[in-house]
Structures are given as structure tokens and as C-alpha cells.
């Protein structure tokens, strides 16, 4: 697995900048959206600091309002060896519906392709399935329950 190039990030929408960020910068948004009421340390995930992992932040007026993490992760549902997992995707509630999540995905795709990724997959909350489907993801397998966070399903998108 090649490291993700750190230059050439180019996927912003009017009023929103998407930038590479550090793992620790994801925690405040993750805590509000994915781990409400839980300690901050639960917002940093295994693999966040891996050499091929990268994190994107969506900023409005200089404030981080959305995050997504992409890291190598093999899922046995796929035969491809060059897999990345999307993890910790979150947009603050008051900023949803304006394309921030889309901007994060669109910024990541060329970076993933440059890294040699052939399959991007995630464990999606069932409520997020329509969002991922709009971005070319499909479901695979059955719905399962993640303790505390609820029903999820694996979704994936093959990359050229």
C-alpha cells in the first residue's frame, strides 16, 4: 500500500475548504456526532496514526465542521488487496445538508486512487445509506448492530 500523496488536494465548494488534518483534529467533531456524551479518548480510533492513514477536514470560516478518515483496512468480503476503510465520517448537525460530506468524499477519491486503492468500504450507519448510495457506494451483507451506536451495514465503492 502506497502512502497517500499530501499535495494536490482540490475539492472545495463555495465557502467550504477541505484540508488534510491530523488525527487529533477529528476528535471534537467525532465526539459531537459519533460519540455524544462519551469521553474524548473514545473518539480516536485504532489506525488513526498509521503511516498510510489520512484525515480530511471540512472548514467553514476557518472552523472545522466535518471530518472523514481513510485508512488501509482489509474486509474479507472483498478479494482486492488494496483496500481502504472510510471511518469516522461526521458533519456537525447544524452544518448538514450543504454538501460538506460530499466534499470530503470527492476530495478523498483522487488521493485514494493515487495510493493504489481499488476498494473503499465503510461500516455505515443504516441512516446514512442513502448518502453513500448517492456517491456510488453499494451495500453488501446483512445489517448488524454495533453496541452503543446501533444498526450498520457494510458499503463499498470500487475505484478505477
Note the pLDDT tens digit of each residue in 86-121: 999 999 999 988 889 999 999 999 999 999 999 999
Q: Is the pLDDT of residue 10 over 80?
A: no
The verdict on residue 134 lying in a domain is yes
Read off the CATH number of the domain in which 81 is found: 3.40.630.30
Number of domains the chain contains: 1
pLDDT tens-digit profile of 28-81?
899 888 888 887 777 888 888 888 899 999 998 889 999 999 999 999 999 998
Claim: this prediction has a pTM higher than 0.85: yes
**The predicted structure's pLDDT at residue 38:** 82
Is residue 13 within 8 Å of residue 103, measured between CB atoms? yes
Domain ranges, residue 108: 16-158
- For the record, the C-alpha cell of 70 comes out as 481513510
Q: In this structure, what C-alpha cell is assigned to residue 34?
A: 459519533
Q: How far apart are CA 17 and CA 32, in angstroms?
A: 20
Amino acid at each position: 500500500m502506497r502512502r497517500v500523496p499530501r499535495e494536490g488536494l482540490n475539492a472545495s465548494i463555495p465557502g467550504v475548504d477541505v484540508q488534510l488534518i491530523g488525527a487529533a483534529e477529528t476528535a471534537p467533531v467525532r465526539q459531537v456526532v459519533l460519540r455524544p456524551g462519551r469521553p474524548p479518548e473514545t473518539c480516536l480510533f485504532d489506525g488513526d496514526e498509521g503511516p498510510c492513514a489520512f484525515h480530511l477536514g471540512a472548514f467553514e470560516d476557518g472552523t472545522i465542521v466535518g471530518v472523514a478518515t481513510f485508512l488501509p483496512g482489509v474486509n474479507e468480503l472483498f478479494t482486492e488487496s488494496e483496500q481502504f476503510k472510510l471511518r469516522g465520517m461526521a458533519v456537525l448537525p447544524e452544518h448538514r445538508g450543504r454538501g460538506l460530506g460530499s466534499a470530503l468524499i470527492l476530495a478523498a477519491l483522487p488521493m485514494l486512487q493515487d495510493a493504489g486503492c481499488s476498494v473503499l468500504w465503510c461500516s455505515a450507519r443504516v441512516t446514512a445509506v442513502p448518502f453513500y448510495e448517492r456517491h456510488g457506494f453499494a451495500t453488501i451483507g446483512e445489517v448488524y448492530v454495533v453496541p452503543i451506536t446501533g444498526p450498520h451495514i457494510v458499503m463499498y465503492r470500487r475505484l478505477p
